[in-house]
Amino acid sequence: MAQKDQKNLHSINHKEKIAVIGAGAIGLFYGGLLAKSGYNVHFLMRKDLDLVKERGLIIEWGKETFHLYPVQAFSSTPQIGPCKWVIIALKSSANDVLLELLPPLLSPETVLVCFQNGIDNEKWLYENFGPRVVIGGILFVCINRTGPGKVTNFGFGKVELGQFNSLPGKEVNEFESMLRNAGIATEKVNSLEEARWKKLVWNIPFNGLSVAAGGIDVAEILARPELERATRELMEEIINAARAMGYAINHDFIELQLTKTRKMGNYKPSSLFDYFEKRPLEIEAIWGRPLKKAREKGINLPKLQLLYALLDSLNSRM
Amino acid sequence: MAQKDQKNLHSINHKEKIAVIGAGAIGLFYGGLLAKSGYNVHFLMRKDLDLVKERGLIIEWGKETFHLYPVQAFSSTPQIGPCKWVIIALKSSANDVLLELLPPLLSPETVLVCFQNGIDNEKWLYENFGPRVVIGGILFVCINRTGPGKVTNFGFGKVELGQFNSLPGKEVNEFESMLRNAGIATEKVNSLEEARWKKLVWNIPFNGLSVAAGGIDVAEILARPELERATRELMEEIINAARAMGYAINHDFIELQLTKTRKMGNYKPSSLFDYFEKRPLEIEAIWGRPLKKAREKGINLPKLQLLYALLDSLNSRM
């Protein structure tokens, strides 16, 4: 799937409206790359709005800095109006506000693209705004919002794209071409749920332990033998649960993940930023729903249960 | 064992020297009650020394206040000299300082009484200061040090007394009579190790979760369904491990503990005070050693492993 799909490439209408909801690192980065490539991107943002309208958006990338100006930035979704593509890059913990934000952006043709962590966000979008095509994007990226309207990229990989409750259809192909035109590697997945569970194998331990162990990065987790062991055993639990649900994740995936993570250096998982900045954790999407889904199948996950209980308590006190 | 043992009572020499090492809530409370009953108690204390010598020791008890004056308080153990009884009421995390503190207090007849949390502290005392009689006291008490030289009692129950590596001998009987004379309920146990593991069934979850969940008391733990579930499942793990080691602890002990704890109201486990006051946790005595002992027997305790890993990390950052 790495080769360019010329047919789809040529069919893309660069004037089709795209809305990016959420002006954190994810929204600014992917929205910024699409806008840079000539796509018609509209950003919804609040606190950074004036600055971004006046000075534009900055993406730092190694020693390079990319400056996007002007930026189509808006403070409300009625100002944007109906779009072909709506990229949702808010924290899943803030999904309730989408009930108010999204309707002005929707036409019958609107495709929702979910760039959120955890499971079942696409299901929630489909149930609240469907029937329509809902695409899930699983991001392999290390980016931080390093200032108002500013994102720093510490390395990024592919975006996995799947479609809720369906094999990938033509909308996934179109969106994939848009990302590729913007210089982003992509891979289509036949089972969005399986890909989301696979991502959980990393997110559940690293996002969770980084917070519950007192605010530490991935290198510090792996430097403590008992935390590394906890990481492995959490990964085993998740893989066992995923396999029991019919998803094909092998146990050797654990070593791959650990090797990959050791190369990330002092990377801070997104939940660690939530913790430092006293924002709500994505508690249900990353830990709560997987635990409950496994329980419904009669699968007991003792470590995830404890981690969820602790994070839920910490989250209620932030 | 609740009736008074008249023979032992009469054989007690009230002039026998007692040293109390550690002037926290435990040392001041039990040492204070013994001194009040006429025993020859010497307190080792540092920061509160001048105040206690000048003004005495205060024990608050419901609406009553007991004032002990004068108090035999000293700043070093050579000033105290050899004692018949040495009560160790320091945190187990500070045991290394005993290597320096204890020798001036010891004669061949000295009995060590360990009033510490967790397991294997008596073993450590025996290995470093034996062969001699080492008594373990398991305290069922809710007391806090509420000021310099001041302790507030929120309810207390019995002290369980056992002897390291032995059935209770005459020294345990003698010490038991001393406590009873001071108004303290006691119970002798044939297996000190079993009694210590039984206490762990409470300490591991409540001391641990109170810290790892962000600094909450026992009522707050039990008010959160997932934390209550984590408590139960941790208790089950500990009981399973204890039973595999041959200790007689039944699973219905869990409900008893929860019922008892619900009556404690907003009680703060001792580790929660350690956490609030940024003192080291008793990390090995309460969580680390039990985990390692179970591992040596091939018993996997997934929840305890995670809890220990998290607390160990939090502890290293306090």
Q: Which residues of A touch B213 (CB under 8 A)?
A: 309-310, 313-314
**Predicted pLDDT of residue B154:** 78
CATH number of A6-190: 3.40.50.720
Comma-separated ranges of CATH 1.10.1040.10 domains in chain B? 194-316
The whole-number mean pLDDT for each consecutive block of 10 residues of chain A, a chain of 318 residues, reads: 46 85 92 95 93 94 89 97 97 95 97 97 97 97 87 86 98 97 96 97 98 97 98 98 95 96 91 94 98 96 98 95
By C-alpha distance, the chain B residue nearest A221 is: B313
Q: Which residue of B has its CA nearest to A211?
A: B310
For residue B96, count other CB atoms closer than 10 A to its CB: 10
CB contact under 8 A, A306 and B234: yes
- Does residue A304 belong to the interface with chain B, where contact is any CB pair within 8 Å? no
The C-alpha of B313 sits at a distance from chain A's nearest C-alpha, in angstroms, of 6
- Residue B94 per-residue DSSP state: G
Determine the pLDDT at residue B62.
Answer: 76
The predicted structure's pLDDT at residue A11: 59
Residues of A in contact with B237 (CB under 8 A): 302
CB contact under 8 A, A214 and B305: no
Q: Cα–Cα distance between B108 and A240 in angstroms, integer?
A: 58
- Look at residue A217 in the predicted model and tell me its pLDDT: 96
Q: Name every chain A residue with its beta carbon within 8 A of the beta carbon of B299.
A: none
DSSP state letters, B157-224 = EEEEEEETTBS--HHHHHHHHHHHHTT--EEE-S-HHHHHHHHHHHHHHHHHHHHHTTS--HHHHHHS
Identify all chain A residues contacting B305, using CB atoms and an 8 Å cutoff. 226, 229-230, 233, 303
Using an 8 Å Cβ cutoff, are B85 and B113 in contact? Answer: yes
| Residues of A forming the active site | 199
Q: Going by DSSP bridges, is the β-strand pair B73-74/B40-44 parallel, antiparallel, or unpaired?
A: parallel
Contact B305 A226 (CB under 8 A): yes
Predicted ipTM of the assembly:
0.91
pLDDT of residue B276: 95
Is the Cβ of B307 closer than 8 Å to some Cβ of chain A? yes
CA distance, residue B284 to nearest chain A CA (Å): 13
Residue B113: strand, helix, or coil: strand
pLDDT for the residue numbered B155: 75
H-helix or E-strand spanning residue B21: strand B17-21
Contacts of A227 in chain B (CB under 8 A): 309-310, 313
Intervals of chain B under pLDDT 70: 1-12
| d(CA B208, nearest CA chain A) in Å | 11
What angle (nearest 5°) sits at the alpha carbon of residue B38, between those of residues B33 and B41? Answer: 65
Q: Are residues A313 and B230, on separate chains, in Cβ contact within 8 Å?
A: no
Q: Which residues of B174-185 are buried (b: 16+ CB within 10 A; e: fewer)?
A: bbbbbbbbbebe
Rounded CA gap, A237 and A204, in Å? 10
Instruction: Indicate yes or no: CB of B309 within 8 angstroms of CB of A230.
Output: yes
Can you give the pLDDT at residue A47?
Answer: 83
Contact indicator for B237, B293 with CB cutoff of 8 Å: no
B312 vs A209: CB contact, 8 Å cut-off?
A: no
- Give the C-alpha distances (Å, rounded to integers) separating B275 from A155, A217, A221, B212, B287: 37, 22, 21, 10, 15
Q: What is the pLDDT of residue B11?
A: 60
* CA gap A42, A21 in Å, rounded: 9
Strands (E), chain A: 17-21, 40-44, 57-61, 64-68, 73-74, 85-88, 111-114, 134-147, 150-163, 186-188
User: Do the strands A134-147 and A150-163 form a parallel or antiparallel pair, or are they unpaired?
Assistant: antiparallel
Instruction: Indicate where chain B has its CATH 3.40.50.720 domain(s).
Output: 6-190
Interatomic CA distance for residues A36 and B113, integer angstroms: 74
Task: Please indicate if any CB of chain B lies within 8 Å of the CB of A213.
Answer: yes
Residue B131 CA to chain centroid, in angstroms? 22
Beta bridge partners of A311: none
CA dist B17 and B85 (Å) reads: 7
Instruction: Residue A309: list chain B partners with CB under 8 A.
Output: 209, 213, 224, 226-227, 229-230
- Per DSSP (E only), the strands in A45-133 are 57-61, 64-68, 73-74, 85-88, 111-114
**Residue A205 distance to chain B (closest CA, Å):** 11
B230 touches chain A (CB under 8 A): yes
Does 1.10.1040.10 match the CATH number of domain A194-316?
yes
Amino acid at A126: Y
Report in angstroms the alpha-carbon separations of B184 from A35, A133, B31, B289: 76, 72, 12, 30
Q: State the catalytic residues of B.
A: 199
Q: What is the pLDDT, as a whole number, of residue A172?
A: 98
Cα A179 from Cα A181, distance rounded (Å) = 5
Q: Which residues of A114-132 are buried (b: 16+ CB within 10 A; e: fewer)?
A: bbbbbbbbbbbbbeebeeb
CB A221 within 8 A of CB B316: no
pLDDT tens track for A46-100:
888 999 999 999 999 878 899 999 999 999 999 999 999 999 999 999 999 999 9
